[in-house]
Structure 1
């Protein structure tokens, strides 16, 4: 068998736009929407030796994306087709074909390459890749037509010599609802596929059952910090033996998580530590852990640190403020002291950890409100 290389893409979610990114929302959307061009450039690079590109669902964020985005996507896919690279596109659950105004219904006849539209698993075509026949199997989930209330167990497959390639945007061994297209890994393996190209889950995963390799490439370019992307393209090589899967770094914006233990830090030490934390090109989540010995103003802190990063979010995972500090404040003849004495007593008499936690959160918010007020809550009582 000749060596065949395939670029396996899924979950690009073109058209997604972030919310509350400090005025960079449109710029970030435009940047993310350029991912397909990067993938096409990679595939067209002679050193990549790509012969087949699979787009396994959720190419778009919605089923009816803006026309200018659709036009640019079709232009990029046509670049592949004109270069002789085969392209297969499968609708997903975000860009579902069910709707009458689905992008795939409106532009199906003009879609570059092979567009999957059948609602149940079937053989959708045969390709010749370097003299090797490649048999394709897939479906496009269609509401009210696709029968997927439970794990799909039965899949078609031929016995001809060549590569048997299944392409599904679905959930492997996870009955998460029919729109997530639940697929049984054993059923896919029993069909005898050489490779199952999957989409839907955003993390890169590889699973081998018997002699069938099943792969989620993951989402290359991140959305928000809870969905940061993989940062690489997934390339599959067919030849002797099982398909070989490799990760090729992609030029995408970095998503980072920085953890900082604040235990024992003074306010000055905390500020000094953060002043050295900079990455202007990265999307960063700053995770604060441990126990504060002072009460930080996280809203002001985020504004102060914003110029150090492309985008910053702060997650407060700290435990209670230092209790000795709270008790020392409670002895003050001030509004803050009076408030703390009352709240600390409520914490001591709380009916269980849940009530204690709720009371503590109210305590912290109250102190913050007093400190933001005139006199910082230090007016004597």
Structure 2
């Protein structure tokens, strides 16, 4: 059995633009120690790791800050010095295409095996647990790597041992060139034992003949729509197939919580209920739902409770602006009434779901502003 620590989409160096600067920098710092946590896990003999694979987007950008690069290379050298093979594949964020890419600058001194070939190839054969492990991969290179049609030629040496492919791409013809479309049928036909994938941030598994293709997902997410798995993925490749293990990664929680305000007496009680959800380590979005006791000021509630969370966002999705209430205001010969009538006409004419969502939010915010619900 060969045990592979499968990493992908760490996006080291990323900063959350939606947070205040001090919180954003703290969040970046916490995320950037993710690789150190992974290396600590690999070096802990109780997990029995034999090989570490990074399937793309180790960095958020192809030109990360030099102190971060130095830190990352130091962590990878810890693996190398302990005798652990480590394979790094460039992604689309940290793309190798550019002459000033981190992987171009450190092509010669990058710890372990750095994949640089632009098309699928047999890149190495390692001996792991007394077994020959044949590696196949590519580094997407703009203007060189085949993307249309999707990559459909996958080599495989006719030699005994385990066969591991590593790609940062998408299964199927979607996502554009830099998402590296891979032909699923051709990939299955290649007959690899394990296909370590990156690019898709949600975890997923696809049976590939007798093998398995796996997206481990992003361990530390980027926001409420991309919260991260909070777990490291270990693939156990053996004669009978592949078994996956998930190990907690000590990730910072990113959560969305719904709070039904129906039956609450007033805005003060709603604010107190939000405060009860507090956790100083959590990045939280609290969605207020149900029948609101009055027109709520989400920004005021957020400001009052923010210090209780690492970061807090409060979203008002209550029916405080019910159709009946809007109907009553729309019937008035006032600026508020005229605003509601015009926004409703625009909503009736708009067909695009995304634009409708923007207009609905604009209607809500406009009414709240005119009623004095916001600054």
Q: TM-score, normalised by structure 1?
A: 0.88
Contact 1:63 1:94 (C-alpha < 8 Å) held by counterparts: yes
Deviations 1:276-322 (A, max 9, x none): 22111111111222343421112212111101211112233334624
- Which residue of 8, 11, 14 maps to 2:9? 11
Give, in angstroms, the shift of residue 348 of structure 1.
12
Q: Which moved more, 1:248-257 or 1:353-362?
A: 353-362
Q: SS in structure 2 opposite 1:94? A: coil
Contact 1:169 1:199 (C-alpha < 8 Å) held by counterparts: yes
Cα 1:351–1:178 change in 2 (3 A) is: closer
Cα 1:293–1:360 change in 2 (3 A) is: farther
Cα 1:359–1:253 change in 2 (3 A) is: closer
Give, in angstroms, the shift of residue 349 of structure 1.
8.7
After TM superposition, the structure 1 = structure 2 runs for residues 361-380 of structure 1, keeping only pairs within 5 Å, are 361-362=362-363, 365-371=366-372
The reply to whether residue 160 of structure 1 matches residue 167 of structure 2 is: no
- Give the distance between the partners of 2:173 and 2:264, measured in 1 at CA: 45
Q: Which moved more, 1:251-260 or 1:316-325?
A: 316-325
Cα 1:360–1:7 change in 2 (3 A) is: closer
Cα 1:211–1:38 change in 2 (3 A) is: same
- Give the distance between the partners of 2:361 and 2:309, measured in 1 at CA: 32
After TM superposition, the structure 1 = structure 2 runs for residues 241-280 of structure 1, keeping only pairs within 5 Å, are 241-267=240-266, 268-280=268-280
Q: SS in structure 1 opposite 2:28? A: helix
Aligned residue pairs total: 367
Contact 2:343 2:363 (C-alpha < 8 Å) held by counterparts: no
Q: Residue 379 of structure 1 corresponds to which residue in structure 2?
A: none
Q: Residue 124 of structure 1 corresponds to which residue in structure 2?
A: 123
Q: SS in structure 2 opposite 1:58? A: coil
Give, in angstroms, the shift of residue 40 of structure 1.
0.2
Q: SS in structure 1 opposite 2:70? A: helix
Q: SS in structure 2 opposite 1:214? A: strand
The reply to whether residue 305 of structure 1 matches residue 305 of structure 2 is: yes
Q: Which moved more, 1:217-226 or 1:267-276?
A: 267-276
Q: SS in structure 1 opposite 2:372? A: helix
Q: Which moved more, 1:351-360 or 1:68-77?
A: 351-360
- Give the distance between the partners of 1:162 and 1:296, measured in 2 at CA: 64
After TM superposition, the structure 1 = structure 2 runs for residues 343-358 of structure 1, keeping only pairs within 5 Å, are 346=341, 350=345, 353=348
CA-atom RMSD, angstroms? 2.7
Contact 1:293 1:321 (C-alpha < 8 Å) held by counterparts: no
- Give the distance between the partners of 1:303 and 1:201, measured in 2 at CA: 34
Cα 1:330–1:14 change in 2 (3 A) is: closer
State the structure with more CA Rg.
1
Structure 2: gaps of 5 or more residues: 351-355
Structure 1: gaps of 5 or more residues: 377-381
Give, in angstroms, the shift of residue 43 of structure 1.
0.2
Contact 1:150 1:178 (C-alpha < 8 Å) held by counterparts: no
Q: Which moved more, 1:69-78 or 1:147-156?
A: 147-156
Q: Residue 289 of structure 1 corresponds to which residue in structure 2?
A: 289
